[in-house]
Chains A and B, each alone.
Chain A
Amino acid sequence: MKAPSFSYERAESVANAIELLARHGPDAQILAGGQSLMPMLNFRVARPAVLVDINPIADLAAIRVDKKGVFIGALARHADIEHSGEVAEQLPLVAAAMPQIAHPAIRNRGTFGGSCALGDPAAELPACCVALGAEFRIAGPKGERSVPAAKFFAGVYTTALEPGELLLGAQFPARQPGYVSRFLELTRRHGDYAMVGAAAHGRLDKGRLSDLKFVYFAVGDRPIMAMGLARAVEGKPLDAATIDAAVAALKDDLDPPGDLHASSVLKRHLAGVIARRMLNEYATHKGA
């Protein structure tokens, strides 16, 4: 199908985008990479009166590294993040997730900010942001504010973004020594949204994990932190008994609704498969 009629405005700067959003009110919608919004327009699921195209705001595409860590701008394309040496070095979790997002032609347009602002519970980047403790930077008519990733994702396609606000990007804390990341997802076909996936980040010392953030995606209405699993492994040797206990703890950590790709029972099963594989990878990890 074809997109419905709308008006089209190009934002030349952040201030201009905020002004355009204010002028057009709730009928305006931001257009970033278009890899989710264009399908919604073509299906006529979305019918904005005005599209505010933020692609001309070159500043928003930057990936910056400094003492505080790494800032990924909202307009950084998935492909740029995937191929960034700085991201590979500073945020290995994000680097591991990128090739799993869609296909090369989609990664060339899709943006970091679009993926986060969309709030799809099956998306990879939101789970990575939660696992790494990222802070989202948001601009609005009243100025700028920050929201931690754990509070940003509020439900299916729902985030802390208010109408009229623009996501500027996310600040990731600097890489801490001793922390090791793991990423795994199960899909029917490479590039599809995951049936179940997880992003993990924790301190690994002499075969023992601590401060583990083990965040599932595609098993709930937002990224889900498996707290019981983390408690079960905290400070323990990663042997068979610990891993069994960690997988058993998922019973209370997760309550996945079934979807088109997998039933609830299958998702529960796969969540256990993923936990076991990832914890075994931690157990056999050489060097940190």
Chain B
Amino acid sequence: MPERIGITLKVNGEEVRQEVPVRLNLADFLRQELALTGTHVGCEHGVCGACTLRVNGRIVRSCLMLAAQADGCDVQTIEGLAASGEIAALQNAFIEHNALQCGYCTPGMLFAAADYVAARRPPNREAVREHLSGNYCRCTGYQSIVDAVCEVAAQDATKGGHK
């Protein structure tokens, strides 16, 4: 019998109480137990970034965190992030610039990009590439993704100014 543990956490603002196997990672918990399949799983060792989401407001790899460790945490998945409206401009820019093809990397990429935009960093290609360096995309060749993020970062500049 695999050991189980009770956890209580917030997922996209809603409280979830569940009993889970202790070895279950957060990505699999969200996908398999909560049917939130927007969190993608690629490598399961932290390298590809497909599983990136927010825990307590910070982006993390959900394949490298146990569901048990999310007890008491506030988790936001791509479903919640999209519904919040926070990334509407990024989503539009991704579509306009063809910054996705198969879409496998996109949820993680959007979390990393949102992090960059929210920090009000300037539309600097080098800095954007560096910030997204932990997210693999096997389709686009990255140029269009950097274009999209820079466009939104530049719009933000006209609104509020950068750090």
Contacts and interface: CB of A to CB of B under 8 A. Distances in A.
Interface of A: 1-8, 31, 34-35, 38-39, 41-43, 51, 53, 55, 79, 102-106, 108-109, 189-191
Given A105-B49, A190-B133, A8 B22 contact: yes
A39 B45 contact: yes
The interface residues of chain A, by DSSP majority, are classed as loop
Interface in B1-30: 2-3, 5, 21-23, 25, 28
Contact of B112 (A38, A105, A189): A105
Nearest to A103: B134
A31 B22 CA distance: 13
Interface string B124-154: 0000011101110000000000000000000
B61 interface: yes
Contacts of B44: 1-2, 39, 42
A109 B60 contact: yes
Given A38-B25, A103-B49, A106-B46, A8 B66 contact: yes
B59 A108 contact: yes
Contact of B60 (A8, A42, A105): A105
Contacts of A41: 23
Interface residues of B, number: 32
B3 A8 contact: yes
B64 A35 contact: yes
A109 B68 contact: no
Given A1-B44, A105-B49, A191-B134, A38 B65 contact: yes
A34 B59 contact: no
Contacts of B162: none
A53 B69 contact: yes
13 contacts: A4-B23, A5-B23, A34-B65, A35-B61, A38-B25, A39-B46, A42-B45, A43-B45, A106-B46, A106-B61, A108-B59, A191-B130, A191-B133
B31 interface: no
B65 A109 contact: yes
B22 A105 contact: no
Interface in B30-84: 44-46, 49, 52, 58-61, 63-66, 68-69
A87 B150 CA distance: 30
B95 to A, nearest CB: 24
A34 B66 contact: yes
Given A6-B23, A8-B3, A38 B115 contact: no
A31 B66 CA distance: 10
A3 B58 contact: no
A5 B2 contact: yes
A34 B61 CA distance: 10
B20 to A, nearest CB: 10
B59 A35 contact: no
A38 B134 contact: no
B22 A38 contact: no
Contacts of A3: 23, 25
A141 to B, nearest CB: 25
Contact of A7 (B22, B28, B129): B22
Given A8-B66, A55-B69, A104 B115 contact: yes
Given A8-B5, A43-B45, A106 B22 contact: no
Contacts of B2: 5
A105 B59 contact: yes
Contacts of A35: 46, 61, 64
Contacts of B64: 34-35, 38-39, 106, 109
Nearest to A79: B58
A7 B21 CA distance: 10
A189 B21 CA distance: 36
B112 A42 contact: no
Nearest to B108: A105
Given A3-B23, A38-B46, A39-B45, A105 B3 contact: no
